Amino acid sequence: METFEADKGPHGPGLKGWRNLPRRSRGLSLRTLIILRWMAIAGQSATIAVATAGFHFDLPLWPCLTVIAASVVMNLQATRRLKRPDPPLADGGLTAAHLGFDILQLTVLLGLTGGLQNPFCLLLVAPVTVAAASLPGRQALALGFLVLLATVGLFFWAMPLPWQAGTELALPALYRFGIGLALVTGVIFTAAYAWRVAADAEKLELALTTTQDVLQREQRLAALGGLAAAAAHELGTPLATIQIVAKELKRAFPADAPAAEDAALILEQAERCRLILQRLSQRPEDGDALYDDIALKALLEEVAAPHRGFDLEFEITVRVADGSAPPRIRRMPEVIHGLSTLVENAADFASAAVELTASVDAGWIEIEILDDGPGFAADILPRLGEPYVTSRPQGKARRALAAQIAAAAAAVPKAARRTGRSKEAAPPEPVSPSQGGMGLGFFIARTLLERTGGKVSIGIGPATRGRARGARVSVRWPREVLEPVQVSQGTPAS
């Protein structure tokens, strides 16, 4: 629900934003280009051999073989370049150059064998499709324009279509024009489809990579507990030695001697260190409240705390169907991070209030987040949960900062008038913090929450007199997923 810079509208990148799409500038590797060209050379050679020896078509054999030989020379040179100690990496410019050569080579070969009357003119679609899926937009468009010029050239210049001896197949110009138009249409449609699919796949890959980074960061934070336990274990032995020596010193001096008092102080502090190390060495399964479980309402307070203080009222409610005490739930980094993101989004959209409601029944725990903002736009709602889909406004914290900057800027002219220097300097122009982000917040939150077994539902809030309906996001888990093991086994939670 954050904004994507290239996404100036709710429907994703349009024609005006194509330049800002993620660039597939790496292109294809040289090895892949070599393999593709060898396949093309084999297909072209087999076709000419079958047409000449099998169907006895009157082909301009040597010119055709010369054109194919040019491709062989190009591939051998590329293979030699690939075997160098420092072979070239995948590069968009190199890929575009090789694909451009393939288009020209195929165009000349088609011109020698009938032009647009040759059914193999359909192969001109292939290089542009590869370019659209692997190259930046400008290079892909340049190769598409090259195919368009090749089609026009083949319409006006081409040798007759080879046919059986003594006969000639002459297709009318209107038919050839139709074939050329169909070829251009196929190039445009196929290239646009490949571009769109590749762009969506790249955005999804980036979003999943970002999600994985978030999970790894949370896992590293969780691993700090294990590192602390290892450090506590290593420090236990020297600390025990300090305690033994301090006890010996205390016994060696009279009780009222300064050295005895120092030894007692050392013992007291050593005992304090021992208790600290004992807490650090506790694993999550040992019952440390910091890692083990937390009250349901305390969890909601924790995710709402960073957003209080920006003219927003948070109402937190926990309802239990049978009227018993609210359960305690496990502290899961995915749940905390996901709920925090959803609350942040609600705070950014809300006008004055955000409601967090937890409902507990015999089999489920559901957390609902409701704000009094404008709600989800109709064109955004069906696509929420996809990466880079958003209409995020400027957040509360950012609006508060912008207001402070504007107030400070407005105060400058008053101060200048009091000091008689109003003409010396113009007031600074108020600077508003940048708004928006990468549009991955809701995607990451939903991915994390669903990974824990929750089901995320999105909608609009209930109709209430005197306020907007707002947006509603709810997450529903089976109780056994969130509750600690001992609770699910029947041991009451403390």
Helix (H) or strand (E) holding 448: helix 441-451
Question: Which stretches in the chain have pLDDT values below 70?
Answer: 1-26, 89-90, 166, 211, 214-215, 217-230, 233, 279-292, 309-310, 379, 381-440, 463-468, 485-494
- pLDDT for residue 399: 53
Q: What is the tens place of the pLDDT at every residue in 462-471?
A: 766 555 578 8
- Using a cut of 0.85, tell me whether the model's pTM lies above it: no
Q: What is the pLDDT of residues 148-175, one digit of tens each?
A: 999 999 999 988 888 877 677 778 888 8
Asked if residues 134 and 93 have their Cβ atoms less than 8 Å apart, the reply is no
Nearest 5°: the CA angle 87, 90, 93 is 110
Residue pair 416/371 in contact (Cβ under 8 Å)? The answer is: no
What is the rounded average pLDDT for all residues in the chain? 77
468's CB contacts (< 8 A; 6+ apart) are 351, 372, 373, 374, 375, 461
Q: What pLDDT, on the 0 to 100 scale, is given for residue 203?
A: 77
- What long-range pairs does 269-272 form, CB within 8 A, spacing at least 24? 270/239, 270/242, 270/243, 270/246, 271/243
Provide the pLDDT for residue 280.
64
Q: Taking Cα atoms as reference points, which of 209, 207, 152, 210 lies closest to residue 176?
A: 152
Pull the structure tokens for residue 373. 């903002």
pLDDT tens sequence across 390-400: 655 545 544 55
